[in-house]
Structure formats: structure tokens, C-alpha cells
Amino acid sequence: MGYNLVIDQGNSAAKVAVFQGDEFVKQWRYDVLDPSRLEEIAALYKPDVAIYCSVACRGEDIIVTLRGLCRKIYEMTSLLPLPITIGYTTPVSLGRDRIAAVAGARAIYPGRNVLVIDAGTAVTYDVLTADGEFKGGNIAPGLWMRAEALSKFTSHLPYVDTETPGDVPLWGTDTRLAIKCGVVRGIVGEIEYYSSLMPADSIVVLTGGDAVRLAEFVESEVEVDPLLVCKGLNSILLYNEQN
């Protein structure tokens, strides 16, 4: 069985993964994805097919490079056949990474209600029903964005790094700690709130760059899967190859 090359170009970084069938092989993370990186990976694994998903620019140089490396390329859009149904009224405006994350949840937890939380530059809360429908979801600012907004739109509040590990007590005892606690625990509160609205047998899965950071403060049961978007992209690739 050949290898699949999966590319998830986010707002802050690109994740590149190799799968063999539905089995994860390896992942790389790049602040800037240069086509030469794909050529290096292709030299090692000789991928047969690839799927490219970008929430930023289209990346013509990446697409051109992939065409020279693989037999077939899938570009992730709302028009690509999907293993889930979309209940969103404006599917064209629906984030491609959000679709991929929900498709990943469907592949891992078939027949289950799932709340998919992707904590990155923004935090998205998306609902997958047991019968495979992307019901909808909400979008909120992420850790960095909240901290940046407090600094940018006030006269005296400093910028505080809320993404690095460290103690986050319930209440801050100085201004910097108050910002840190307010930002981190604010998102944790959102996670707990949306989780409480799901059916009792639901799975809550947390992914994205800040998933591990936030999970340590969440008291309800959550699954952490940093590879969820890549797994979803691979499941979409396999779905298209088989249909």
C-alpha cells in the first residue's frame, strides 16, 4: 500500500503528515512551508496521493510542487466529496480545517455525537451528530488573540504570554497574572459550557496548537488529539480514492 501525503496549512504554521492507508506514519511542523520540504519528504516516502488544505493563501507553489510529486492531488474545498454531511447554511465560508477536524472525529468515533474543539489562533467549537452531520458550531478568539486584544485596545494593560506552560490559579493576584488567568480560564469555561450542552454520551475532543495547554485545566472528560485535522484530511483523501 502506498503512502498518502497530508498538508494542513494553518494561520500560524503548516503541518505535514504521511499516512499509509489510515495508519499514521510521521508528522512535521513548519513555521513556513517551503516546497523543498515536500520534496525532501517525498524522497523518503514516495507518496502516491496528496491532499492540501489551507486556511491562508492558496499556495500555488505548493500545489505545483505536489503535482510533480504525486499521482493525484486533492485540494480541500467545500466542493470536495466528503464522508460527512454539512448542515452549515454557507458551506463555502466554512473553514476547511473545521471540516477536516469534524471528518477526523467521524473517522475515529463513528456513530457518536462529538464536540470538536480546535484551539489555535481562533477557537472553534463544532458539533458532529451520531449520524455524521456537521451540525454547526461557534468561533471565538484563541489564547494569543485574547491577550493581544487586551494589550492593543487598552491604555495600560500589558501583553502577557498566555500560551507557555505555567501555573494558572483561579484568581490573579497581580495584573499580569489576572490577564493570564482571565484568558486561559475564560476559554476553559467555554469548553466546559459547550461540553455541558452535548448529549450525555458525547465525546469531546480537543485539538490545535493550544490543546495540551488548555486540557490540563479542563475538569470534564476530554480527548486530546493534536493530529485530528490531519487524520480528517487523510480520511477525506481515502473517501475520494474509494468512491
Pick the range with the lowest mean pLDDT from 18-27, 43-52, 58-67, 132-141: 58-67
In this model, does residue 91 exceed pLDDT 90?
no
Q: Is 219 exposed, middle or buried (0-12, 13-18, 19+ CB in 10 A)?
A: exposed
The residue annotated as part of the active site, out of 8, 97, 118, 225, is 97
167 has catalytic annotation: no
Cell of 231: 487524520
Taking only the tens place, the pLDDT of each residue in 185-239 is 999 999 999 999 999 999 999 999 999 999 999 999 999 999 999 999 999 999 9
pTM strictly above 0.75:
yes
For the segment 137-143, the average pLDDT, to the nearest whole number, is 97
In this model, does residue 56 exceed pLDDT 90?
no
**Domains in the chain: ranges and CATH:** 1-75 (3.30.420.40), 84-243 (3.30.420.40)
Strand-pairing partners, residue 156, are none
Q: In the prediction, which pLDDT does 193 show?
A: 98
Confidence of residue 155 (pLDDT cuts 50, 70, 90): very high
Which of the pair, 104 or 10, is modelled with greater confidence?
Answer: 104
In b/e form, how buried is each residue of 125-145, taking b as 16+ CB within 10 angstroms? bbbbbeeebbeebeeebbbbe
Taking only the tens place, the pLDDT of each residue in 6-37 is 999 987 789 999 999 999 999 999 998 889 99
For the segment 114-121, the average pLDDT, to the nearest whole number, is 96
Of the chain, the percentage scoring pLDDT greater than 90 comes to: 84
